[in-house]
């Protein structure tokens, strides 16, 4: 048998191909969205994300929450590029034609779609002989050349993050019964896991301010790693500055770091901006109604250093990998 390789190596070795001249693709594989020619002064931002039973959600999940989350994770990728959601395609593989289930699923799906004026424009529906699969492709609009990419960070930029980190992993641990918290702490974490709010207005407000961005879907270490590698910079983070909910702060420091750096499902925006643009960054956060925290800075070089309790530790930039490599 051939040597198993990780998710990102598979993509790089087998799917990444040069974009042909004249293909009307401004940016292909490798960022949160691809950029496709649109009008004279705008481009399509396109992203595709799949949710699988037993991998991304547990069997018996609340269908309304799943409808919300399936679209939310896609809108979060549009948000990371600063795109305005326009429409989406929905491919569903269902183990059974269960109408009450589909009705509840679409209630959650369309409540979020309507909030963002994002229209369902097509899709595919089939029977699954395995588990449930939801795959969505979402299209948004960005000003031509204005999309925020993973590759634009510069040495000296500050690093910012929206909201709180670690609650998605905390919610998952509660759901799996791995930890037990009082319901006043567990409920908001479960809400974050089940019904993430894509930071669409923030992403748009950051166009022209942020130099790079990514949505935190696979843990801070891995997603920051994507920015660092694609921008060719290193980062220094201060643990005390990383925003964490009061529920997360009840856990010991090791667990908090594990959930923040190696957890997932936070769907906050992580972005860089020049150090002299912090007023513009804060104004963008205020306009979008999202709290922002400055968690560190970027430098020439590579790697991630975490300052915690006055000590500097090197952290691996490993992302969550579906093949666990």
- List the one residue out of 188, 189, 213 whose CA is nearest residue 200: 213
User: Nearest-CB residue to ligand ADP?
Assistant: 15
Which residue's CB is nearer to ligand ADP, number 150 or number 244? 150
Q: Give Cβ neighbours of residue 325 (< 8 Å, ≥ 6 apart).
A: 4, 5, 6, 7, 9
Residues numbered 41 to 100 that lie near ligand ADP (CB under 6 A) are 49, 77
Which residue's CB is nearer to ligand ADP, number 11 or number 19? 11
30 contact, one of ligand ADP, Mg ion, none, CB 5-8 Å limit per kind: ligand ADP
Binding-site residue total for ligand ADP (CB under 6 A)? 9
Q: Give Cβ neighbours of residue 276 (< 8 Å, ≥ 6 apart).
A: none
User: Which segment (23-31, 163-171, 236-244, 276-284) binds ligand ADP by CB under 6 A?
Assistant: 23-31
158 contact, one of Mg ion, ligand ADP, none, CB 5-8 Å limit per kind: none
- What is the rounded distance in angstroms from the CA atom of residue 66 to the CA atom of residue 58? 10
Helix/strand/coil for 126: strand
Residues at the contact surface with Mg ion, assessed by CB under 5 A: 32, 77, 215
Angle at 62 (CA atoms; ends 59, 67), nearest 5 degrees: 105
Which residue's CB is nearer to Mg ion, number 174 or number 220? 220
- List the one residue out of 231, 187, 152, 194 whose CA is nearest residue 58: 194
Which residue's CB is nearer to ligand ADP, number 185 or number 223? 223
Task: Report the nearest approach of Mg ion to the CB of residue 55 (Å).
Answer: 17
Residues numbered 3 to 22 that lie near ligand ADP (CB under 6 A) are 11, 15
* Of positions 30, 95, 143, 146, contacts ligand ADP by CB under 6 A: 30
CB 113 within 8 A of CB 193: no
49 contact, one of ligand ADP, Mg ion, none, CB 5-8 Å limit per kind: ligand ADP
Task: Report the nearest approach of ligand ADP to the CB of residue 69 (Å).
Answer: 14
Q: x-or-dash pattern for ligand ADP, window 148-187, by CB under 6 A?
A: ----------------------------------------
- List the one residue out of 232, 212, 229, 233 whose CA is nearest residue 161: 212
Q: x-or-dash pattern for ligand ADP, window 238-267, by CB under 6 A?
A: ------------------------------
- What is the rounded distance in angstroms from the CA atom of residue 271 to the CA atom of residue 295? 10
- What is the rounded distance in angstroms from the CA atom of residue 28 to the CA atom of residue 9? 16
- What is the rounded distance in angstroms from the CA atom of residue 187 to the CA atom of residue 272? 31
32 binding ligand ADP? (CB under 6 A): yes
Which residue's CB is nearer to ligand ADP, number 108 or number 264? 264
231 contact, one of ligand ADP, Mg ion, none, CB 5-8 Å limit per kind: none
DSSP-derived secondary structure for 158-219: EEEEES-SSHHHHHHHHHTTSS---HHHHHHHHHHHHS----HHHHHHTTTT-SEEEEESS-
Residues lying near ligand ADP in the complex (CB under 6 A) are found at: 11, 15, 29-32, 49, 77, 217
């Amino acid at each position: 048998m051939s040597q198993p390789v990780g998710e990102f190596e598979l993509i790089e070795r087998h799917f990444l191909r040069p974009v042909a001249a004249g293909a009307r693709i401004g940016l292909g594989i490798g960022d949160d969205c691809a950029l496709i020619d649109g009008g004279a002064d705008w481009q399509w931002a396109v992203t595709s994300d799949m949710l699988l039973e037993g991998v991304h959600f547990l069997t018996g999940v609340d269908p309304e929450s799943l409808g919300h989350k399936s679209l939310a994770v896609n809108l979060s990728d549009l948000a990371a590029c600063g795109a305005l959601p326009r429409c989406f395609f929905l491919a569903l593989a269902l183990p059974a034609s269960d109408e009450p289930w589909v009705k509840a699923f679409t209630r959650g799906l369309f409540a979020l779609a309507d909030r963002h004026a994002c229209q369902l424009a097509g899709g595919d529906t089939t029977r699954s002989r395995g588990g449930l699969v939801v795959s969505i492709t979402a299209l948004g609009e960005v000003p031509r050349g204005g999309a925020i990419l993973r590759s634009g960070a510069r040495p000296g930029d500050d690093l910012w993050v929206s909201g709180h980190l670690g609650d998605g992993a905390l919610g998952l641990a509660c759901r799996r019964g791995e930890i037990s918290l009082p319901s006043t702490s567990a409920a908001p974490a479960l809400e974050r896991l089940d019904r993430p709010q894509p930071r669409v207005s923030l992403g748009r407000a950051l166009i022209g301010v942020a130099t790079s961005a990514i949505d935190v879907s696979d843990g801070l270490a891995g997603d920051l790693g994507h920015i660092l590698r694609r921008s060719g910079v290193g980062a220094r983070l201060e643990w005390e500055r990383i925003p964490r909910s009061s529920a997360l702060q009840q856990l010991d420091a090791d667990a908090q770091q594990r959930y923040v750096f190696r957890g997932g499902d936070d769907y906050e925006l992580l972005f860089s901006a020049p150090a002299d643009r912090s007023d513009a960054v804060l104004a963008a956060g205020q306009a979008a109604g999202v709290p922002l925290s400055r968690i560190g800075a970027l430098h020439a070089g590579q790697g991630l250093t975490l300052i915690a309790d006055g000590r500097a530790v090197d952290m691996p930039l490993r992302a969550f990998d579906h093949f666990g490599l």
